[in-house]
Chain A
Amino acid sequence: MSKKLGKVFVEAVTSLFKKPATSGYPFEKREIHKSYNGKIAFEQPKCIGCQICVKNCPAKALIVAKVQDKVFEMTISLAKCIFCGQCVVSCPKKALSTTSDFELAQSDKNKLTVKL
């Protein structure tokens, strides 16, 4: 193997004139794909209250409560959710779907339990 000194020299000097690979988040945001596993979205008309999603959730993050006859309300604990998408797969009526909303941090722990 031929040994050279400073092999990355060319790359280093040309990088001085290239656009940097990092960006100044949060002032410049990056494009992410639509298929990203972020917060899930709930369509209330489709839910039949079968509780399969609640049973299958590995982190026990979902609570489905009955508000009226055939109308159900879902509460999710964003602290417990592991964003695996199991609930989306198990729902027989396809009432759940993933969105790419990932900026979910809060300073107050109570705000992490949200109604969907």
Chain B
Amino acid sequence: MPGSDAVMVRTTWREAMRAALREALQADPRVFLMGEDVGRYGGCYAVSRGLLEEFGPERIRDTPLSESAFVGAGIGAALNGMRPIVEVMTVNFSLLALDQIVNNAATLRHMSGGQFAIPLVIRMATGAGRQLAAQHSHSLEGWYAHVPGLKVLCPATLEDARGMLASALADPNPVILFEHVGLYNVEGTLRSDAGAVPIDRAAVRRAGTQLSLIAYGGMIPRALEAAEKLAAQGIDAEVIDLRVLRPLDAATLVASVRKTRRAVIVDEGWRSGSFAAEISARLAEEAFYDLDAPIARVCSAEVPIPYARHMEIAALPQVEAIVGAAREVVGTHA
């Protein structure tokens, strides 16, 4: 429980994540971090900077560029008494480890009749917005969320950046933690005693009455910005942060949409077969008769994310597009 002497401290999303890693390494000698350039380089996105000096090379392990080997080694180490945190530089690179994640981490417990648990955390950067083009910019969280046996977390806020890792490590299942590259530099204030947060439910980030903006990860700041713009136009939007894609907290979504009767889903993944499609289907199944308008989706354009700034912007869900979709579902567009 938060102590009464806690104060609000200024921090960045990256620093919150690093504080979570440091705390996990301090709290449990079984915890270690491994991945490409996590040690001497300080992490591709500088999340683990300084940890090698603090915890040493046994627990902050630089690996060869062998995603399948070191992700699989994380699975094996988790099976055998350790609490590994495996960092994969980006979700695009994680495709090289897909065999281990999907065929081993997700299956071993069920396929063995419940004999094993895999308390593994895999962290990876995801998303676009830094002009890194089509092999570093994709949002494939929805693919992972398709797979039973995995848990998929998408922290958006400073509190979640600080608190999801501890909960993921305490979970006896393989958990994938997606860190949107657009969030690392976000600044804000965080309670000095911030710690573990629940990883089984969505959160209402902004209460509203006229429509539900449903998003996660890197799209949360945009959804909130869109909600402010809509408020200025007299439209009261609720913002739901999914936080956890699997297992999905459908109850929170459905409750919100039953109240607002309209839904716009914002997802940086491609529209076809997207996680937004899953949310849309859930709402159609569970809240169809509560809806006053068709469900709308704002997703990335169906192209490999391009390098040029203007094209990258055009490919991604932007605030104006969210505002436009929201105005349409509340019927103020005409």
A-B complex is real: no
- Show the binding face of A for B, using Cβ within 8 Å: none
